[in-house]
Amino acid sequence: MIIKGLNNKQKEAVETLEGPVLILAGAGAGKTKTITHRILNLIKNGVKPSKILAITFTNKAANEMKERVFDLIGQDKTLNIPITFTEKPFVSTFHALGVHIIKENGALLGISRNFTIYDRGDSKRAIKNALEEIGFDTKQYEPGVILNAISREKGDGKTFSAYKNSNREYFQKIVAQVWEKYEAILNQEKSLDFDDLLLKTAILLRNYESVRKHYHTIWEYIHVDEYQDTNQVQYDIIRLLGEKTHNVCVVGDGDQSIYGWRGADIGNILNFEKEYPETKVIILEENYRSTQTILTAANNVIKKNVMRKEKNLFTKNAEGEKLELLISYSEQEEANMVADKARELIENKVSPREIAVLYRANFQSRTLEEAFLKKEIPYQVLGVKFFERKEVKDILSFIKASLNRESTNDLVRIVNVPPRGIGKATILKVIMKQKNTLSPALRVKVSQFLGLLENIKEIAKKETPSRLIKYIIRETGIESAMRNGTREEQEKLENIRELVSVASQYDLLPPGEAIEKFLENAALATDQDELEKDSNAVKLMTVHASKGLEFDYVFITGLEEDLFPHQRLNEDEVNQSEAEEERRLFYVALTRARKKVFLSYAMIRTIYGAQKVNTPSNFIGDIGDEHITSTGDTEKPRGVKAIFINF
């Protein structure tokens, strides 16, 4: 049964149980199926489920893997295993794994078990505060840029103390000053940011032998999905966890490495065999998703890269339709052409949810949205996280502030939600233990507010997450204030009620653990978690956001030089790695499609208020004329120099 439905290469991966294994899995090659069957085979061969660790990058991928593993275990009648919570394989994202390890061992680093997780918005606000405290102009030193610099250093495994002692240029000196203040803010509020979840985990595993040995006894078989996306600190975590047994199975595709800009190192997968010389390499090339035409186009594109392991995707699926190139005069015309094609598909009984429109940069979505609105085509933009909506964050802050009074960020956020006549300055005086300087009226208001937080804390100890949130929206006055408010406020109330539904998923856990898990998962939610399964709408998203997803029909828009790719491929050797990553990004876009790909570009596009005459992307030429059919006006626009078209 274990090999049923597997091809020979998948079977080989499933049956190779000991030692390091590198599975190079092309797009649509059934890597999740392979990993889950390998986990099942380990269990069938006597490995306790709890000895198995599987790590991936997104909650969506982790949940899918959990479901598949548990379904396979449940379906296999030869296994007589009572699958209790403790006996299940540990399937997690990297960040959730970090939370788990830090909560068990963080005291060694002076980290409270009840630490708060800063999302990117929280971190940017803290960086802004740090800049202002130092006296820097936040317009001159953009908080997001400083945060990205700190994030990159943490991803490379550097602590602040290591960074401040290195030789630095002017910008690095600025970063060091801000980082020091930022660390102080995090420590004061008993908080960690996303990067800390990984960095602190690596420090615990590296510096504390007892911690490392403990996890060696717990997890003897390690699986890592999307290994090409790991950065240095993630690489360190896997190396340290697997150093005893070397039973490390990594799955990935160097051709889909698209996160170099945030620190991912393609060298981790390309050099895996150097780290583990005894590695068994297995290449999965059979694609189960796309037509052969799409795969041929993708192969033609990616083979131009030098930094890669050779593979050539093929399929037993139909040859399929040629890729269709939509040529338009302007971005508005491009958006209308895309919308018209989407409407045509829908009229031909294609479900809107099976259509995706991809773009290189977020700004491109505006004209697309306008066109879809005008033509009344249902659409959903991926990118606005549910848990980052103000009203949702307010509720979460009530919970976090009640559990962690050191979290100034959360206290300041909610002190006047709904309005209760307490300002930021007042609550800061309370935090600084200067309550006696307040007027009698303010003292009463503050006492009532702090009493409310204390009540929330007590409720959290004994009630389910959903009941806790109902208590918060009722007792704070949020519900009554919004119920009779504007339409916008009523919509916000609906979002809060949706939060109750989300929280109810944790209601079966013990109360304290339930709240903890709920807050953890809310903090670690990703863009892809926003894809509602029942949302029958065309999906609009960046190519980066589409990673791991698949659709019947895919539109890849804005295929113009300097937009997609961002870097011209004929530039000097210094930019070769960036150029190759852009090509990998296009490869990812192509391989999201099952049935057909539409390519589009505009001859003229307005960027930063100026019109730019465009050259079509070199990627289009890489595909080959024989695989493309063109739609649109290829005539020279009036007043514009002819620059193409000859693929």
DSSP states along 415-479: TTSS--S--HHHHHHHHTT-GGGS-HHHHHHHHHHHHHHHHHHHHHHHS-HHHHHHHHHHHSSHH
Q: Which two tokens stand for residue 113?
A: 């078990």
- Tens of pLDDT, residues 163-174: 988 767 888 899
Q: What are phi and psi of 586, to 5 degrees?
A: -65, -40
- Tens of pLDDT, residues 277-288: 999 999 999 999
The DSSP output letter for 228 is G
Looking at residue 186, its amino acid is L
- Tens of pLDDT, residues 561-583: 989 998 544 444 446 788 899 99
Q: According to the model, what pLDDT value does residue 645 have?
A: 37
Cβ contacts of 173 within 8 Å, gap of 6 or more: none
> d(Cα 620, Cα 601) in Å, to the nearest integer?
10
Of 66-75, 161-170, 228-237, highest mean pLDDT: 228-237
| Residue 200 annotated in active site | no
When pLDDT is cut at 50, 70 and 90, the band that residue 638 belongs to is very low
When pLDDT is cut at 50, 70 and 90, the band that residue 83 belongs to is low
Q: According to the model, what pLDDT value does residue 577 have?
A: 84
When pLDDT is cut at 50, 70 and 90, the band that residue 230 belongs to is very high
| Residue 38 annotated in active site | no
Annotated catalytic residue: which of 31, 38, 154, 547?
31
Q: According to the model, what pLDDT value does residue 409 have?
A: 85
| Residue 278 annotated in active site | no
For residue 522, give the nearest of 455, 486, 451, 468 by alpha carbon. 468
> d(Cα 367, Cα 56) in Å, to the nearest integer?
34
Q: According to the model, what pLDDT value does residue 527 have?
A: 58
- Tens of pLDDT, residues 34-60: 999 999 999 999 999 999 999 998 888
Range name among 143-152, 361-370, 433-442, 590-599 with the lowest pLDDT average: 433-442
For residue 405, pLDDT over 90 is answered with: no
Annotated catalytic residue: which of 9, 539, 592, 595?
592
Of the chain, the end-to-end C-alpha distance in Å amounts to 50
On whether the CB atoms of residues 407 and 191 are closer than 8 A, the answer is yes
For residue 58, give the nearest of 32, 20, 78 by alpha carbon. 32
Annotated catalytic residue: which of 193, 195, 220, 226?
226
Annotated catalytic residue: which of 225, 236, 255, 622?
225
| Residue 31 annotated in active site | yes
- Tens of pLDDT, residues 526-556: 656 555 555 799 999 999 999 989 999 999 9
Annotated catalytic residue: which of 9, 10, 32, 547?
32
Judge residue 279's burial from the number of C-beta atoms within 10 Å of its C-beta, 0-12 exposed, 13-18 middle, 19 or more buried.
middle
Q: According to the model, what pLDDT value does residue 81 have?
A: 62
For residue 323, give the nearest of 23, 599, 99, 535 by alpha carbon. 599
Annotated catalytic residue: which of 93, 228, 256, 528?
256
Say what the pTM is. Answer: 0.84
When pLDDT is cut at 50, 70 and 90, the band that residue 373 belongs to is very high
Range name among 171-180, 296-305, 350-359 with the lowest pLDDT average: 171-180
| Residue 507 annotated in active site | no
For residue 508, pLDDT over 80 is answered with: yes
Q: What is the mean pLDDT of the chain?
A: 89
Q: What angle do CA 147, 149, 151 make, to 5 degrees?
A: 65
Q: Which two tokens stand for residue 65?
A: 């893997």
Q: According to the model, what pLDDT value does residue 599 have?
A: 98
When pLDDT is cut at 50, 70 and 90, the band that residue 646 belongs to is very low
| Residue 159 annotated in active site | no
3-class secondary structure, 35? helix
Q: According to the model, what pLDDT value does residue 379 have?
A: 93
Range name among 59-68, 144-153, 264-273 with the lowest pLDDT average: 59-68
For residue 127, pLDDT over 50 is answered with: yes
When pLDDT is cut at 50, 70 and 90, the band that residue 384 belongs to is low
Q: According to the model, what pLDDT value does residue 639 have?
A: 36
For residue 647, pLDDT over 80 is answered with: no
When pLDDT is cut at 50, 70 and 90, the band that residue 489 belongs to is confident
Cβ contacts of 324 within 8 Å, gap of 6 or more: 341, 596, 597, 598, 599, 628, 629, 630, 631
